[in-house]
Amino acid sequence: MPPITIIFDFDKVLADSEPLHFHTLQMIITKLGITIEHDEYYEQYLEYDDVGTMKLLSATHNQSWTDQQINALIEHKSIIFKEIPNPKHLFEDNQLTLDERTDLLIGPGLTMHRGE
């Protein structure tokens, strides 16, 4: 039996899921009357995790979100992110394919099994 191959991708090594995070964040904050542009996101928020991003958004946009509110926003963002179909296109630039030698690929927002 040939060895099982599993590929783990850490964001921006093989794929960049940041556009998906930006999109889901926009979906959440737009409902709160807050908008940020693509450039603003990449210049000011990219270095932060979800908690840091929400805290900075709160401060920058004159909000006073509690930790409980921030956690609820992050949970909502997580739910939306998980509902995005497996974004196989994230790997297209790297021409990474699963073939008979690769059984499983785990990446940002993605799990692919052989044959997908």
Residue 11: pLDDT band (50, 70, 90) is low
* pLDDT tens profile 36-53: 999 999 999 988 999 999
Burial 6-19 (b: 16+ CB within 10 A, else e): eeebeeeebbebee
Pairing of strands 104-107, 6-8: parallel
| Tokens linked to 100 | 């008979």
Other CB atoms within 10 Å distance of the CB of residue 64: 7
Residue-level pLDDT at 35: 94
Identify whether 1 is part of a domain. Answer: no
> Of 62, 60, 61, 80, which is closest to residue 72 (Cα–Cα)?
80
Identify whether 104 is part of a domain. Answer: yes
Q: Residue 99: which domain range? A: 6-113
52: CATH? 1.10.150.240
Identify whether 92 is part of a domain. Answer: yes
Give the Å distances, CA to CA, from 6 to 3, 71, 86, 92.
10, 32, 17, 18
* pLDDT tens profile 17-34: 788 889 999 999 999 999
Residue-level pLDDT at 19: 84
Q: How many independent structural domains does the chain possess?
A: 1
Q: Is 103 helix (H, G, I), strand (E, B) or coil?
A: coil
Global model pTM greater than 0.75: no
